Amino acid sequence: MSETKNILLVGVGGQGTILASKILAHVALGQGWDVKMSEIHGMAQRGGSVVTQVRIGTKVYSPIIEPGEADVLVAFEQLEAYRWIHTLRPDGTVIINDQKIAPLPVVAGAATYPETILDDIRAKVATAIVVPALSLATEAGNSKATNVVLMGVLASVMPDVPAESWQEALEANVPVRFLEVNRKAFAAGFACER
């Protein structure tokens, strides 16, 4: 791998972005790459925006992805995709879970949830992949596996990485009793229509 690859995972507290980033890091390390990751979770235990940055390369110094430098943006929620889309390179890929979670200002009536998120994003970026990750996870047997569905989609846009590496990473990071559901969720994400 000559150039550093930047993958940004964004979502809402409680959606499992950190587990997803650990799976991704495991995969990268398995390929013998250098990895740096940075996690910032807002003040509350839940409900705030969460951002996890993963940088993979031969030698990586900074743990931070600069605006306009993300190769892949994985958004666990529509509004978070909207908020962070400017971090994507012009030729980058965004993967969006089509789930919507209204933030408090919207609930309280002080702001409105933008209606045209997906169209606006499609008009702006080279590749936008929108998937119903929550329903795919529910079909696979557990709505909590939404994060792993999204890792399946991510795997499908990283063709250099052998499939076994992802399976190993799942085994290493997911408790045994949830492994089967997560394997299914991953496969659903990998194969889903887009």
Residues engaged in binding other proteins (CB under 8 A) = 12-13, 25, 29, 34-40, 42-49, 61-64, 66-68, 79-80, 82-83, 85-86, 90, 102-114, 120, 124, 143
**Residue 63 C-beta: closest distance to other proteins, Å:** 4
Judge contact between 132 and 98, C-beta under 8 A.
Answer: yes
Determine phi and psi for 67, rounding to 5 degrees: -55, 135
What is the DSSP-derived secondary structure letter of residue 66? P
The residue count of the chain comes to: 194
Judge contact between 108 and 178, C-beta under 8 A.
Answer: no
Q: Which is nearer to other proteins, 66 or 191 (CB)?
A: 66
Q: Which is nearer to other proteins, 10 or 131 (CB)?
A: 10
Q: Are strands 49-57 and 127-131 parallel, antiparallel or unpaired?
A: unpaired
**Residue 158 C-beta: closest distance to other proteins, Å:** 18
**Residue 23 C-beta: closest distance to other proteins, Å:** 12
**Residue 144 C-beta: closest distance to other proteins, Å:** 10
**Residue 3 C-beta: closest distance to other proteins, Å:** 13
Q: Which is nearer to other proteins, 1 or 102 (CB)?
A: 102
Q: Which is nearer to other proteins, 181 or 187 (CB)?
A: 181
Q: 65 is written with which tokens? A: 């992805």
Determine phi and psi for 72, rounding to 5 degrees: -135, 135
Judge contact between 34 and 58, C-beta under 8 A.
Answer: yes
Q: Which is nearer to other proteins, 63 or 191 (CB)?
A: 63
Q: Angle formed by the axes of helices 133-140 and 176-191, to 10°?
A: 130
